[in-house]
Amino acid sequence: MPRTRSIHPDKEKRTMKIPTLRWLPAIIAATSLTLAGCAGSGGSGEQSSSGLGEIPTDTNATVRVLMENVPDTDIVKGLVGQFNQKYPGIKVEIETMTFDQMRDRLVSSFQASQPAYDLIVVDNPWMDDFADAGFLEPLNDRIAATPDYRPDDFFDSLTAITDVEGTTYGVPFYNYALGYIYNTGDLTASGQSVPTDLGALVTTSQRLKTADRAGIAMQPQRGYKIFEEWANWLFAAGGSIYGEDGKPSLDTPEAARALDAYIETYRTAAPANSLSWGFDEAFRSVSSGMAASMIGYNWNLPALNDPEGASAQRAGQFALAPIPGGKSALGLWSWAIPANSGAADAAWAFTSWVTSPEIDAQRVADGGAVIRQGSLTDPKVLADGYGADYYKTVGEILADAAPLTEGKGGEEMIQAVGTELNDAAAGNKSVADALRDAQAAAERIQQ
C-alpha cells in the first residue's frame, strides 16, 4: 500500500460501540502482561507491562521507536528533550524508515524473541490485523488511569480507527483526512465558486481548465492512490465503502455514479497522460500553476502557501474546503505499544505525554497534523500555526470522515479495489465490470 508522502510540514464504522464506554478499562483476563526478557536497549531480564497510566517520573528505560520518515516525525524528535525534563531516566531512540519498509519490519519484531521496538506507529489498514494477531497491547486501562489526559478530546473519526471490537489498541498520532484544495485566483477568474456537491465538482473542474492549465490534478495511480481519491467522490455521490451490515458496498448505483463522474473529470479536466499520477505529481502540478485544484491531504495547504516552498509566487493563493458533499476519506497513523515491548511503561510515558492536551497543542503549533479538537482553538496554535480559518476547516473535515477500510485484510483490499478502479479509468474495463470485480475482491479478502 505505498503512499508517496514526501511533501508535508509531513478510514465509516469500524465496530459497533457505545462512545461513552470507549475509555473504560478493558475486561481482560489479566491486567499485567509479563514478557520474556528482551536483549538490547529495551532492557534485559524480565519486563512487565503494568497497565499503569501515570508512570513514575523516576522510571529508567530505553524506548526504541519506529516511525515513518516524514516531517511530522521530525517534530516529534524535536520534543524529546522537553520530555526528558520530566522523565530524565527514559531514553527515547527514534528510528525512521520509508513507508514501504515498515510493515515487514514491524511484523518481524512482533514475532522475535528479542523485539527491536518498544513503541511504534501503526497505519490504519494494519490496525485490525495487528490487533487480531495479538501483536498490540490493549490501552484502555492505561488511558483511563492517565490523569488529565482528556481522551474524549480526540476526534471520534480517529478513535473509531484505534478501537477494535471495543478495545483500544492505539492513540492518534496524525491524520490523513482529505479536502478540496484550490487556487483562489483561478477560481475567481473562472467565475466559479467552491463546489459543494458531486455535480459541481465535475463542472467546476472543467471550467477551471484553460489552454495553459488543467482544472484539477488527479491521482488515478493503480492501487492505493486512486481508491483514496475516488472514495471522496463515492461519499459525494451518497455512497459508502461498507453497508450497514458492515460488508463491502462497492457495486451500487452510487458507486457507478461516482466512478462515471471521476472518469469524466479525468478525461476532460485533468492533465494529459496523468493516469499513473500519485500525490507528488499532483502536488507539483498545483504548486507550479499547471493545475488549479486537487483533492489533497488537509495539511498540504500550509506547504502550498509556504513562501519558501514549491509554489513560489503562488504561495498564499491557495485555500482549503471540505470535500464536496461534506464527507472525506480518512487515513491515520496511531501510536501503539507492541505486546512484546521491552519497555511498555516507559513507552506509555512518552505516548501519553506527546499526545496530552498541552503538548499536542505545541506539536500542532509547530506544524503537526491535528488529532485533538482542543488544539484547533488553542491560543498558541492560532498564534503560531496556520490561521483560524485553516483550523476551522480541518475541524469540519475531521468531524465527518471515514477510512478506506475496516476489519482485517485492509491493505490487500485497498490494493485490489484500486486496481479495478484504475482499469476503469484507463478504459480497460467498463464501470460496471470494474465495480463488480472490486466488490468480489473486497468480499473475498474481507470475508
User: 383 phi and psi, to 5 degrees?
Assistant: -80, -40
pLDDT band at 49 (very low <50, low <70, confident <90, very high): low
State mean pLDDT over 110-134: 97
pLDDT at 271 over 80: yes
pLDDT in tens, 193-220: 999 999 999 999 999 999 999 999 999 9
pLDDT band at 348 (very low <50, low <70, confident <90, very high): very high
State mean pLDDT over 115-141: 97
Rounded CA gap, 272 and 266, in Å?
9
pLDDT in tens, 92-115: 999 999 999 999 999 999 999 999
- Centre a 10 Å sphere on the Cβ of residue 229 and count the other Cβ atoms it contains: 25
pLDDT in tens, 391-423: 999 999 999 999 999 999 999 999 999 999 999
pLDDT band at 51 (very low <50, low <70, confident <90, very high): confident
Bridge partners, 95 (sequence order): 66
Domains of the chain: 19-176+331-399 (3.40.190.10), 178-330+409-445 (3.40.190.10)
Looking only at the bridges linking them, the beta strands covering 90-97 and 61-68 are parallel
Average pLDDT, the chain: 90
pLDDT at 342 over 80: yes
Rounded CA gap, 115 and 122, in Å?
16
pLDDT at 236 over 80: yes
pLDDT band at 23 (very low <50, low <70, confident <90, very high): very low
pLDDT band at 278 (very low <50, low <70, confident <90, very high): very high
Contact criterion met (CB below 8 Å) for 12 and 245: no
Q: Which of 31, 75, 83 is nearest to 57 (CA)?
A: 83
User: For residue 237, which amino acid is it?
Assistant: A
pTM of the complete model: 0.89
Stronger pLDDT, 18 or 151, i.e. the higher one? 151
What does the pLDDT read at residue 298?
97
Contact criterion met (CB below 8 Å) for 346 and 59: yes
Place of cell 493563493: 317
User: How distant, in Å, are the alpha carbons of 33, 92, 141, 329, 353 from that of 341?
Assistant: 10, 14, 17, 32, 18
What does the pLDDT read at residue 3?
43
Rounded CA gap, 122 and 172, in Å?
9
Burial of 139-162, coded b for 16+ CB within 10 Å and e otherwise, reads bbbbbbbbeebebeebbebbbbbb
Q: Which of 47, 44, 74, 59 is nearest to 366 (CA)?
A: 74
Query: What cell was used for 47?
Result: 519486563
Q: Which of 66, 77, 50, 60 is nearest to 117 (CA)?
A: 66
